[in-house]
Amino acid sequence: MGSKWTISYLREIWQKHKPDFLFLSETKKDFEFVQGFQTHFGFDNLVTVDPIGTSGGLALYYNNEFQIQKLREQVWERLTRCGLSRSDPWFMIGDLNEITGNHEKEGGALRHPDSFVPFNNMIRNSGLLEFPAKGNKMSWQGRRGKGKGAFMVRCRLDRALANEEWHTLLPCSYTEYLGMVGSDHRPVVAYLEDKVIRKRGQFRFDKRWIGKEGFMESIAMGWAKDYGSDQVDIVKKISNCRHEIAKWRRNNPPTGKEKIGELQKALEDVQMDDSRTQEDIMEVSRKLQDAYKDEEEYWHQKSRNLWNTLGDHNTNFFHALTKQRRTRNRIVGLHDTHGNWITEDTGIEKVAVDYFEDLFNTTSPTDFEGFLEEIRPGITPQMNQRLLRQASEEEVRTALFMMHPEKAPGPDGMTALFFQHSWHVVKQDLVTMVNNFLISGELDSRLNMTNICVMSEIENLSSNADLRDSIGICGREIDLGQYSDSSGNVSWSANK
């Protein structure tokens, strides 16, 4: 297709014969050039193989009536079968010659989203998870076109994938993309590490506790503790509840896989014991069902995913989802302000803390008069009277129950579910706290504390720029705001 005469003759053949499919070999042209004739010829589909240098190249134009088989999809099918048949840890690394989406491609025309489906299906159906990575992930590059119209195309064709069992066995594994020297591909090095620094876990309200014997009593006991002060100290009451719940937990550990295993063995024993009654079997079965339910609730909560409410109760699914989130969010290292690559956990923490302390540091401006002169009051005296009235118990309750019960908690570890479930215990003090805030305009600073976390579409952050572009604030506190609607009525809503 490098000659004008060739292209003219090709058009003449197409106009005369109107073929349903057209195969060209030795096109010597890249995808963008060959694609330019697809619309002109009126074909529905196009499959190409790019030339190597100035030789080779294939193009197949065809209409929807013809069903073609792509051998690449056979590779994905075989890998899927391999993944489904394996229960042991396994991973693969290398040039897969495919990308998961247009976000893994720079330069050239965008591909149709449907073209990524087979590869993504293979990854998902095989239960494979990406490795955290550092370095330039655009692992391949090639020049398209000639002369002034030439441009570069870069793609992430090389990667490492592993199943959940592998990530559990070697949870600190990661990959590094090296420099592109003497090849159009970057070498990819996999570091397989199992070091895990265990830190003291934070308190987290666990919905599996609800309904357990003695749990509600521990909340009531903690909330009712009185230290002789006339002021309602919500933060202190929450802290008391945490301590009472912690004491209750020591005698009521949550069920897990070990507990399920014990109950499965107990059920087998009681079923094989002819001296045991049907009631004995049903009792052990009930405990086992409760243990399965608790395990399902745990991984649903950890996955922060709502699919469970839509009917998918597969615990393994939520387990894998949580592992995938942890793997994707893990930070292998960060560049400090001097450009040094920091990989030690304590060093990474310091880089992040120093960055955000500098980011949120105030310059302490003082001259506001000129700015405030341009702002006109928007609240009428009548509106102000409505806003100043005290909130009722029902309004506070409505605002609280509008909150999602299981969103990520704040530093106190309590989700909205804690307050919703124990409303009959905490309601009086919550209403008092809200009205004190509305009257005084002051809120205990401890109630306004939150967790700062990085929320990003960028996987495995590596620089301060990534931190800046990805900052998000999450946490749950008793954020109850009062607003006036268009009719002048005051309503309560929950702010997240």
| CATH classification at residue 157 | 3.60.10.10
Residue 30 vs residues 108, 109, 180: alpha-carbon distances, Å = 10, 11, 22
Same-domain status, 107 and 182: yes
Final residue belonging to a domain, choices 191, 226, 245: 191
Residue 308: pLDDT over 50: no
Angstrom distance (rounded) from CA 298 to CA 318: 9
Per the structure block, which two tokens stand in for 472? 């998000």
In a domain, 202, yes or no: no
Residue of 323 and 285 predicted with greater confidence: 285
Last residue in a domain, options 174, 191, 208: 191
How many Å apart are CA 66 and CA 43, to the nearest integer? 11
Same domain, 36 and 77: no
pLDDT classification of 77: cutoffs 50, 70, 90? confident
Which residue has better confidence, 340 or 244?
244
48 with 84, same domain? no
478-493 mean pLDDT: 38
Q: What is the pLDDT of residue 320?
A: 59
pLDDT of residue 483: 36
Confidence bin at 324 (pLDDT 50/70/90): low
- Say whether both 42 and 103 belong to one domain: no
Separation of first and last alpha carbons in the chain: 60
Tokens of 356: 């955000």
Backbone φ and ψ for 103, nearest 5 degrees, come out as -70, -15
Read off the pLDDT of each residue in 431-447 and give the average, rounded to a whole number: 85
The pTM assigned to this predicted structure is 0.45
In a domain, 199, yes or no: no
Query: Is 121 within a domain?
Result: yes
Q: Give a yes or no: residue 204 inside a domain.
A: no
Residue 367 forms part of a structural domain: yes
pLDDT of residue 418: 92
CA–CA distance, 470 with 7 (Å, rounded to integer): 49
Q: Is the pLDDT of residue 310 over 50?
A: no
Tens of pLDDT, residue by residue over 337-383, are 887 878 777 888 888 888 888 877 877 777 777 777 778 878 888 88
% the chain with pLDDT above 70: 76
Question: What is the structure's pLDDT at 493?
Answer: 38
* Residues 76 and 225 both lie in one domain: no
pLDDT at residue 198, as a whole number:
57
Q: How far apart are alpha carbons 40 and 1 in whole angstroms?
A: 15
Asked if residue 80 and residue 54 are part of one domain, the reply reads no
Residues 14 and 137 in one domain: no
Confidence band for 426, pLDDT divided at 50, 70 and 90: very high
Q: Based on the fold, state whether residues 29 and 92 are members of the same structural domain.
A: no
For the chain, how many structural domains are there in total? 4
Q: What are phi and psi of 87, to 5 degrees?
A: -110, -10
Summary mean pLDDT of the chain = 77
Predicted local confidence at residue 462, as pLDDT: 58
Whole-number pLDDT of residue 73? 73
* CA-closest candidate to residue 482, choices 423, 396, 369: 396
Q: Which residue has the higher pLDDT, 476 or 361?
A: 361
Which segments of 220-345 are extended strands (E)? 334-335, 341-342
The answer to whether position 196 is within a domain reads: no
Please give the residue that has the higher pLDDT: either 295 or 283: 283
Let me know whether 30 and 100 are in one domain.
no
Full residue range of the structural domain in which residue 362 is found: 334-494
Tell me the per-residue pLDDT of 169-200, one tens digit each, with 9 for 90 and over.
888 888 889 888 767 888 888 888 776 555 66
pLDDT at residue number 254: 58
Q: Which residue has the higher pLDDT, 321 or 250?
A: 250
Tell me, yes or no, whether 266 and 160 share the same domain: no
Farthest CA pair distance, the chain = 98
In a domain, 426, yes or no: yes
Domain presence at residue 312: yes
Note whether 94 and 179 are same-domain residues: yes
What value does the mean pLDDT take over residues 281-288?
Answer: 85
Burial class (CB in 10 A: 0-12, 13-18, 19+), 326: middle
Confidence at residue 468, expressed as pLDDT on a 0 to 100 scale: 53
Identify any residues that bridge with 491 across adjacent strands, giving them in sequence order.
483
Q: Where is the domain boundary, 62, 85, 111?
A: 62
In this structure, are 446 and 339 located in the same domain? yes
Flag the least confident range among 128-132, 153-157, 358-362.
Answer: 358-362
Average pLDDT for 23-42: 78
Residues 6+ apart with CB under 8 A from 58: 23, 24, 25, 27, 48, 49
SS (HEC) of 321-355:
HHHHHHHHHCCCCEECCCCCEECCHHHHHHHHHHH
Most confident of 204-208, 229-233, 303-307: 204-208
Structure confidence at residue 425 (pLDDT): 93
User: Residue 117 is encoded by which pair of tokens?
Assistant: 């489906």
Q: What is the pLDDT of residue 461?
A: 59
